[in-house]
Amino acid sequence: MSVTNQESAVKVYGNYINGEWVNSATGEVSESTNPANPSEVVGIIQKSSIEEVNEAFTAANDAHKSWSRLAAPTRGDYLLKVSNILEERLDEIALTMTKEMGKTFAEAKGEAARGVAILRYYAGEGMRSTGDVIPSSDSDALMFTKRTSLGVVGVITPWNFPIAIPIWKMAPALVYGNTVVLKPANETSVTAAKIVECFDQANLPKGVINLVTGSGAVIGDAMLANPHIKAVTFTGSNTVGKHIGRLAFDKGIKYQLEMGGKNPVIVAEDADLDLAVEATISGGLKSTGQKCTATSRVIVHEAVYEEFRKKLVEETAKITVGSGEDSSTWMGPCSSASQLETVLSYIEIGQQEGAELLQGGERVDREGYFVTPAIFDKVTPDMRIAREEIFGPVLGLMKVSSMEEAIELANDSEFGLSASIFTTNIQKMLTFINEMDAGLVRINAESAGVELQAPFGGMKQSSSHSREQGRAAIEFFTSIKTVFVK
């Protein structure tokens, strides 16, 4: 699947087009390095040319007719084979993820296991209903719906979940009869190539899945310009997502965008504070805060504010920061030098704006992109650290005097991805569920995370308002055809 640089013995990962691993004609490459040890090269990524992007789409388009004509259970069988191969290679691929983007090995292994489960879930989708019989006003007629595949789907994925997100996009696309061209984030292209290896080992028909790598600005635009693309599914920043959305709209194809979040947790005066502290830390600081559903704003009732703040600072101070390969490490590095600089710049901005830094926020004096988790007090709604997505281990505390004020403050954001509340009062739970403007609301649980069989997506500027995962995925990856038989 790759050539090997004999001098460094580092693999060079190429394109996967029409069932073959192909070296790019550009001759241009970039190094994927370990954020915990930047001198360690995990792999070398080739930069695809626009011509190779077009070749990938041609291969996918040529494969679509025969793939879509396969019985859906047969397509599901292929996904089941992929899941078994991924399970066999779980530790190897999880370790690659840890080395490539810094996530702790325990978290990486959990994500890889989730990828296995997602593949098996959608393998089962091949056996489920894809239409309904509808009563006709004509007693001699039969009317029903059936779902049809879209064609070639462009899949553009981020670096923070380099196994789960590509799989939860590709698996439903494939089982519903589409073919795929995957463009992963540069930072995790080695991990993506290993996932594609699993599909290759399962002997999917040529052209059903294709991989291209390189600059998002070049490759992403080329994907949207290709005449064969029928849909694009994207997870990433709002700026890039809106650009993709505009291109897709102008082209008249379906698009699915999952973007940013500024996710709140509300701690009511009757909350279990130990549980709330544990979940706030887990939701906000696991994966170094590099989750779209990570807790960022911590809205606490004044009656328990001081006690909660004290407990939060004490528990956060216990966190061990280090290489994700070290089993004693709780939090790994930021994914890259630029991500570290972004986090440090927001910590500086928070202090300049008048927030009080209670804990952390310092670069660790060692090789790698490490920062200690930061907690800010006296955060006000107008501050940038309260409004902009940081995508790092930074929590901002905000004090309120009522549930009404807490929900109003939680909703005071352009984003609406996830939110959680800690309370033992049923009425407060119901009010939160009904009034919180977020696609994912969780009660007495951290803001991050959704089960694979449940719909996932945001409101407001967090999403294009479609849903991923679970049975809901069929709505994006298929079209409904109404059939009338006389």
As a whole-number percent, the residues of the chain with pLDDT over 90 amount to: 96
74: nearest Cα among 186, 208, 169, 218: 208
Choose, from 258, 389, 446, 468, the residue flagged as catalytic.
258
Question: In angstroms, what CA-CA distances link 264 with 267, 356, 361, 387, 428?
Answer: 10, 19, 20, 11, 16
Amino acid 216: pLDDT: 87
> Please, what is the angle between helix 238-251 and helix 216-225, to 10°?
20
Give yes or no for residue 8 having a pLDDT over 50: no
3-state helix, strand, coil in the chain (%, to 5): 40, 25, 35
Q: Are 284 and 296 in contact (CB under 8 A)?
A: yes
Q: Encode burial over 160-193: b for 16+ CB neighbours within 10 A, e otherwise.
A: bbbbbbbbbbbbbbbbbbbbbbbbbbbbbbbbbb
**Domains of the chain: residue spans and CATH:** 2-257+463-485 (3.40.605.10), 263-452 (3.40.309.10)
Amino acid 14: pLDDT: 81
Give yes or no for residue 2 having a pLDDT over 50: no
Query: How far apart are the C-alpha atoms of 278 and 319, rounded to whole Å?
Result: 12
Amino acid 217: pLDDT: 85
**396, β-bridge pairs:** 297, 376
Query: pLDDT tens, 292-350?
Result: 999 999 999 999 999 999 999 999 999 999 999 999 999 999 999 999 999 999 999 99
Query: pLDDT tens, 412-435?
Result: 999 999 999 999 999 999 999 999
Query: pLDDT tens, 151-184?
Result: 999 999 999 999 999 999 999 999 999 999 999 9
The first and second tokens of residue 364, run together, are: 């660790």
Amino acid 309: pLDDT: 98
Give yes or no for residue 24 having a pLDDT over 80: yes
> Please, what is the angle between helix 72-88 and helix 164-175, to 10°?
160
Query: pLDDT tens, 351-382?
Result: 999 999 999 999 999 999 999 999 999 999 99
Stretch 397-424: mean pLDDT: 98
Terminal-residue alpha carbon distance, the chain: 53
Query: pLDDT tens, 194-231?
Result: 999 999 999 999 999 999 999 888 899 999 999 999 99
Give yes or no for residue 409 having a pLDDT over 70: yes
Amino acid 113: pLDDT: 98
Give yes or no for residue 4 having a pLDDT over 60: no
User: 274 exposed, middle or buried (CB, 10 Å; 0-12, 13-18, 19+)?
Assistant: exposed
Catalytic (active site) residue 87: no
Amino acid 395: pLDDT: 98
Query: pLDDT tens, 42-100?
Result: 999 999 999 999 999 999 999 999 999 999 999 999 999 999 999 999 999 999 999 99
Q: Are 206 and 59 in contact (CB under 8 A)?
A: yes
Q: Are 113 and 90 in contact (CB under 8 A)?
A: yes
Q: Encode burial over 275-303: b for 16+ CB neighbours within 10 A, e otherwise.
A: ebbebbbbbbbbbbbbbbbbbbbbbbbee
Amino acid 450: pLDDT: 87
The first and second tokens of residue 11, run together, are: 């693999």
Across the chain, what does the average pLDDT equal?
A: 96
